Chains A and B, each alone.
Chain A
């Protein structure tokens, strides 16, 4: 395959010229040529996908039930709607979980639905929902139930919140509803926000008896795909840092209920969970900082950041010990694999943070990210949080409830004084999220909500060595002869977070970038010389 330097400006012009003018006009603002950290360009993001475009995006329900609430094991998730929505979210996101004992509750392997029929659509589904809640309690005896609304629920006017209140009273357990109908917002992102709101209103702060610990944090936006949370838990424990709650990989209801007893919120996936961190800061006085446990160097940096926050010399010393210990295997692996991969190219189109985080792992291998983009990111995920005040709230975002929490006088205590925060910032501790573009090279392409058409054109032009996206793109890209790494499901590998995860990732990338079979696609008889040679023989 030819590998020549490609003119990204020309690429953009050519791709846009092939699109209908209305589509091109919109896409023009969503395809940006990065100009380095000093001059972060404006990118259009979190806007509607034009109907008919083959998009990666899913819906609000997927973001709420699938992403944020799905990984928790002892909240019974009941989907109110026709059967499909619950069926498709059944065990399909690799949220690993480790119940405390053989008998501890674990509903992850179950799929529950009200299986709405046409009569429910015509006459309303509330009666069926109530009955389903009773049956769920009778059979499973859960501590809490979340109700997830699918498209028709909002349209026919079923009030899941009223049903939740009524049944909470009747059944004596916590029951809460989510209005995460698929048509809300423009992607999964709306559902994340709705999930954050629901957890904040109905669960967080319900139990003041949190785990004891010296350095108590919550891990936000880590969903334990392929065991990532297990690896992060291992590292934190080794450092002596106590995790009160995980939102929401390998989590339980009680973790959420006691989350307000932590002293710091650290955020992995900024897009899906920043709302909760913001609200907890206002209500309980818990500051938050962005971390990244994807990549060995980033993991080390994140641990140091946490230690700096607590300002405890023993903790800092322990963190350094752990990093030194863990980096041995990492360096050994890099020494072997980097020479095999250095200079190879990649493209990442996934999620609302992964397309950024995974660039770290590729950097560690010496691989170059040519193009990256989010499936459902907002401008702040690209350009950094400083642009939030300048983001125009459109009709689709305005429909998503914005909570305005107030200080909980009884339980608020400011963990970090303004002066101390200023000091830490002066010492180089970044609290805010600076976005993806600042970490990307000048001249790299940034593409929001990429379409199938643009993806094909990218591959035809740039011939990357590895392409990163999801299952819907996987086999299209591979048919083109390019290996695709799934960054939602990890192709059923992982963990990729933390130090052990980094080593797993290096190995898996080496494996797919050096797969022998790609060289054998052409049949011998399709190559002329061979046929001639046969004749000559």
Chain B
């Protein structure tokens, strides 16, 4: 057994986390910063942080992930990291020439109390930032929240720096995206285009982390939200924040800064959440929903009706991030499945409230937990007590799936052992069909593998 020490006996834990369902803030900040055009993420801390985050993102996307580091030594930890950051800004602008350096902190620079805002002001005052170029930042202490928090903080960081209100309203909608794949960001743009709504999507990692093979490596690929787009967000009609954990904070900051009203929605995963997104977007932009989208919706429902018998009553265990899990759980309920075990390492009361609302009436037996020690070890122990028919989560789930012989669908971050997530969306109606295809494939492959010979079906 791969996880041979995991048993169904649950010991009370108050200090030890085992097999976490989260990682730390800076990797989220790095991912978000890659969704801005011409931006080089910069990790203000030890080299290891930057190396680990680049590695995790590279393995997930199988794409170049460029980022720099302040390369702290023991000396910088004692005397402060200002000299390192000044040097870094100067080195980066002269060698790699980005338009923006997006600095995020680490537990190291936060613990010693580096004032990054002040240091970056010094880089501007000392003329280390060439004309037309920018240095921006956010604080991402690794001992608060999770990777999700880091993503949220970096997006809010861009909002702090760029959007301007000039008084001339532009007929466009801001969409602040939660942590999703480049494929999903592409899908959001495609839905908006079908509805003929002009949007600014922040961040946007499509054409950054799904670039074509051309024989040339672009350190700054063509994708990403541009500076003029970010500046214009202050004049947009309104903002839709997709994901309370990842996107709402930026929307609040934008409203405070530029008086752009916002609506927070769950990520459009599954039927109902996508319905709400399409409705909200059509109202915000004052456009009607085109037939092509209504047809996509119909196709998703058609697929569900066709395959419902393979989904009905199936018990599902999930782990991942709140913004993904909440609409996903709702979608599973729509399919008449039973999400029975759910964990997320990311803290926050809203997750528990959302789970209460969705699950209490229909799956009262469901167990869910988030925050410290809401980890995959606990999830596995619940599964040991009573198994499930499907497991959904990142690549680490494969160890549980193999030990317990559970069909497994990869969704979340990181996915290091399969491809496709960055190319085929999970968001929207089409994304729903893709997700459904993966779930049915996993469930039905197991049926095929284990059916008695006389019960083996050609047509399913």
Contact = CB atoms under 8 A, between A and B. Distances in A.
Interface of A: 18-20, 23, 48-62, 78, 81-88, 90-92, 102-103, 105-107, 109-118, 120-121, 128-132, 134-136, 138-140, 150-152, 154-156, 182-187, 395-396, 399, 451-453, 456, 471-472, 474-481, 521-522
A139 B5 contact: yes
B338 interface: no
B15 interface: yes
A48 B58 CA distance: 25
B437 to A, nearest CB: 26
A118 B144 contact: yes
B92 interface: yes
27 contacts: A19-B94, A20-B94, A49-B47, A50-B87, A51-B68, A51-B70, A60-B48, A83-B17, A83-B24, A84-B25, A84-B27, A91-B396, A103-B4, A109-B3, A110-B377, A112-B18, A113-B17, A128-B15, A183-B46, A395-B74, A396-B74, A452-B66, A453-B95, A472-B55, A472-B58, A479-B218, A480-B215
B54 interface: yes
Contacts of B411: none
Given A54-B66, A472-B55, A155 B217 contact: no
B177 interface: no
Contacts of B88: 51-52
Contacts of B63: 475
Contacts of B17: 83, 86, 112-115
Interface size class of B (residues with CB under 8 A): 35 or more
A356 B170 CA distance: 60
B52 interface: yes
Interface in B183-237: 211, 213-219
Given A20-B94, A151-B77, A102 B58 contact: no
Interface stretch (B103-111, B159-167, B276-284, B315-323): B103-111
Given A152-B143, A453-B95, 19 more contacts: A51-B71, A52-B69, A52-B90, A59-B46, A82-B107, A84-B107, A86-B17, A92-B55, A92-B59, A112-B18, A114-B15, A114-B17, A135-B14, A152-B107, A154-B77, A183-B76, A186-B71, A472-B65, A479-B64
Interface in B35-75: 42, 45-49, 51-56, 58-59, 62-75
Contacts, number: 262
A198 B25 CA distance: 30
B68 A472 contact: no
Interface centre among A58, A452, A522 (most CB of B within 10 A): A58
Contacts of A399: 74
Given A112-B18, A399-B74, A475-B63, A23 B95 contact: yes
B399 interface: yes
A396 B78 CA distance: 13
B330 to A, nearest CB: 27
Given A52-B68, A117-B144, A156 B214 contact: no
A195 B263 CA distance: 52
Interface in B12-36: 13-20, 22-27
B16 A106 contact: no
A31 B397 CA distance: 44
A116 B372 CA distance: 9
5 residue pairs, one from A and one from B, having the closest CB atoms: A59-B48, A84-B24, A52-B91, A52-B88, A182-B46
B71 A54 contact: no
Nearest to A526: B214
A45 to B, nearest CB: 16
A150 B107 contact: yes
B90 A182 contact: no
Contacts of A154: 77
Contact of A109 (B2, B22, B68, B91): B2
Contacts of B64: 475-476, 479
B326 interface: no
Given A103-B4, A152-B108, A183-B72, A53 B215 contact: no
A48 B146 contact: no
A51 B19 contact: no
Contacts of B16: 78, 112-114, 131-132, 135-136, 139
A150 B106 CA distance: 12
Contact of A88 (B52, B71, B76, B90): B52
A478 B58 CA distance: 13
B111 A110 contact: no
A156 B110 CA distance: 12
Nearest to A154: B77
